[in-house]
Structure 1
């Protein structure tokens, strides 16, 4: 008995071979001289006339023969594809996580779909923004976001001050130097919020996706290992088309 994974292994090669043969056939029937032949002989009017050799050219390509060759090649492709598609209707397997069935009796075509979707999902999760590890974050239930502890900082203002370098006398005015002094005038209290995720949560999600990816691959391999029935569709199709 043939197994589905054996058909899948040869399908690509059969497709390539058939495509090449059909393309060659298409180009061949465009070459009119290959489909043309001639037979010509010369007879002078009397025995004294010039004798010329006969001319001939055989037909090298027959359209009916080209069709039969194409039909033979396509018959193989039709049979392989039919065998695969009929088998895909029967190929199923369970997706198991740690020995527990997560998805039961899943068709192999859906398992292929799951593989593609999980690959895309893994890429998305790997790019998720994460919280700044230099901060301490807690979940704020009011906003459903992460928040830091309040950080209090001062607000200062420059206030001009006078510094007396020398006191005034009856002969000289006082010498005064003006300078600016930073004076605390208020306090800022800052709390940062973020919609990002903790790194441990991203790691957890990635682990789950990877585990499910592995489970789906195992299930696909199991489904592709079923024994199948070889289908003979091409002969019927081309028996009608070229009959």
Structure 2
């Protein structure tokens, strides 16, 4: 008994072969000289006249024969595709994760959809922003975000000061140097907030997506192992079209 995965394996080759044959048939019927024949004989007006050999050209392509060949080729494609599509209606499998059935009797076509979508979900999750590992983060219930521990820093202001290099005398004024001194005038308390995710959370999500991807692949393989009934659709179609 043929299985669905066997039909899927030959489908691509059948399509390519049929496309080649149909293209070849199309090219043949476009060449008018191949469809044309000729028979010409010569008879002089009297027995003394010049004798010329007959001329003939054989018809090399008959449209009816080309049509028959196309019908034969397409019949194979129609039958393979029908067998696949009918089997797809019946091919189903459970998606099992950690020994538990997550999805029951999923059609193989939907399993293929799931595979594609889960690949996109994995790519999206892998790009999620994560918290800076250089900071210590805790959950802030008031803002429903992540926050760092408070960090206190000083705010300074430059205050001019005088430095007496030499005291004043009765003959010379005092020598004074002006300089700026950084004086603490206040304190900053900084707390950073973030809506990103901890890396461990992203890793956990990626692991879950990967696990479901594997489960869907296993289910698809099981569904593709369904036995199929060979469908003979092409003969009916082309018996009507080309009769």
**TM-score (ref. length: structure 2):** 0.99
Q: Deviations over 1:203-240 (max 9, x none)?
A: 10000000000000000000010111000000000000
Q: Deviations over 1:114-160 (max 9, x none)?
A: 00000011111111111110100011122221111111111111111
CA distance, structure 2, for counterparts of residue 113 and residue 88 of structure 1: 13
Secondary structure at the counterpart of residue 56 of structure 2: strand
Secondary structure at the counterpart of residue 177 of structure 2: strand
In structure 2, what is the equivalent of residue 85 of structure 1? 85
Secondary structure at the counterpart of residue 201 of structure 2: helix
Aligned pair 1:220/2:220, yes or no?
yes
Using the TM superposition, give the Cα deviation of residue 61 of structure 1 relative to its aligned residue in structure 2, in angstroms: 0.6
Superposed CA RMSD in Å reads 0.7
CA distance, structure 1, for counterparts of residue 162 and residue 215 of structure 2: 79
In structure 1, what is the equivalent of residue 59 of structure 2? 59
What is the number of equivalent residue pairs in this alignment? 243
In structure 2, what is the equivalent of residue 121 of structure 1? 121
Aligned pair 1:241/2:205, yes or no?
no
In structure 2, what is the equivalent of residue 167 of structure 1? 167
User: Residues 1-243 of structure 1: matches in 2 within 5 Å?
Assistant: 1-243=1-243
Secondary structure at the counterpart of residue 101 of structure 2: strand
Using the TM superposition, give the Cα deviation of residue 188 of structure 1 relative to its aligned residue in structure 2, in angstroms: 0.9
CA distance, structure 2, for counterparts of residue 205 and residue 227 of structure 1: 36
Q: Deviations over 1:39-91 (max 9, x none)?
A: 11111111111111111111111111111111000000000000000000000
Q: Which runs of 5+ in 2 are unaligned?
A: none
CA distance, structure 1, for counterparts of residue 147 and residue 174 of structure 2: 56
Using the TM superposition, give the Cα deviation of residue 113 of structure 1 relative to its aligned residue in structure 2, in angstroms: 0.3
Using the TM superposition, give the Cα deviation of residue 8 of structure 1 relative to its aligned residue in structure 2, in angstroms: 0.4
CA distance, structure 2, for counterparts of residue 90 and residue 41 of structure 1: 67
CA distance, structure 2, for counterparts of residue 9 and residue 118 of structure 1: 24
Q: Deviations over 1:176-220 (max 9, x none)?
A: 001111111111111111111101000100000000000000000
Using the TM superposition, give the Cα deviation of residue 108 of structure 1 relative to its aligned residue in structure 2, in angstroms: 0.5
CA distance, structure 2, for counterparts of residue 75 and residue 10 of structure 1: 15
CA distance, structure 1, for counterparts of residue 17 and residue 186 of structure 2: 82
Secondary structure at the counterpart of residue 227 of structure 1: coil
